[in-house]
Amino acid sequence: MDKNISFTLKVWRQKGPKAKGAFETYQMKDIPGDTSFLEMLDILNEQLISEGKEPVVFDHDCREGICGMCSLYINGHPHGPATGATTCQIYMRRFNDGDTITVEPWRSAGFPVIKDLMVDRTAYDKIMQAGGYVSVRTGAPQDANAILIPKPIADEAMDAASCIGCGACVAACKNGSAMLFVSAKVSQLNLLPQGKPEALRRAKAMLSKMDELGFGNCTNTRACEAECPKNISISNIARLNRDFIIAKLKD
């Protein structure tokens, strides 16, 4: 059975996008080790509300590692001290009694803070609108065996499609680049027959939108790959660069 732990929690508080933020310190007592990180924040908010104080704003939805909304920077790591996991999949057993835990929002020009730990990630939606779709009419679903896609290619596309668009790659990158996200979304479409007709246009359009929205450039430090909760490979970035160069040459 997991033991209870007590710890110091330093949380970034910011009233709005234009406001000046600062850390506030809270003491958390006897938190069970099997409590998830977001449940721990729920406990903190219950304490704050009972004291007549404003609760901490943070983003969440599914709490199952699928939606990508639990975008927290914990002790210097996007999503916290774990690999292949989102914030909602982190449990307090990972921390020690007496620890100081620092929680911040994503830090990126492309993800402005809305309030406290919640950031505006609609930039990702705009990138997807620029080219993250297929315009070909695919008709009724076909039997999988009737679509001649080699299994290695299908596996690569599915691996890329596992990206949940959480933004950890941007938060981890010293340049604030969204290349891992963009390349994953381009790969999941460009590798498959349905996405081939507009593959080159897609690469150009989504990269252009990324630049327009204030994200930085990739310098291959691989921090994005190291911190990605879905272990997306930077090989997708190489593929995106090739598609982009071919598209520019054809222009």
Domain range summary for the chain, segments of one domain joined by +: 2-112, 121-248
d(CA 222, CA 77): 14
pLDDT of 159 above 80? yes
pLDDT of 199 above 60? yes
**Sheet containing 100-105: order of strands:** 22-32, 4-13, 100-105, 72-74, 77-78
d(CA 164, CA 161): 8
Banded model confidence at residue 14, pLDDT cuts 50, 70, 90: very high
Coil vs helix vs strand at 76 = coil
Question: 110: which 2 tokens?
Answer: 């492309």
Banded model confidence at residue 231, pLDDT cuts 50, 70, 90: very high
- Output the DSSP codes for 175-208: T-B-HHHHHHHHHHHHTSGGGSTTHHHHHHHHHH
Look up the CATH architecture of domain 2-112. Roll (3.10)
Banded model confidence at residue 138, pLDDT cuts 50, 70, 90: low
Asked if CATH classification 1.10.1060.10 holds for the domain at 121-248, the reply, yes or no, is yes
Burial 46-77 (b: 16+ CB within 10 A, else e): eeeeeeeeeebbbbbeebebebbbbbbbbeeb
65-111 pLDDT tens trace: 999 999 899 999 999 988 899 999 999 999 999 999 999 999 998 99
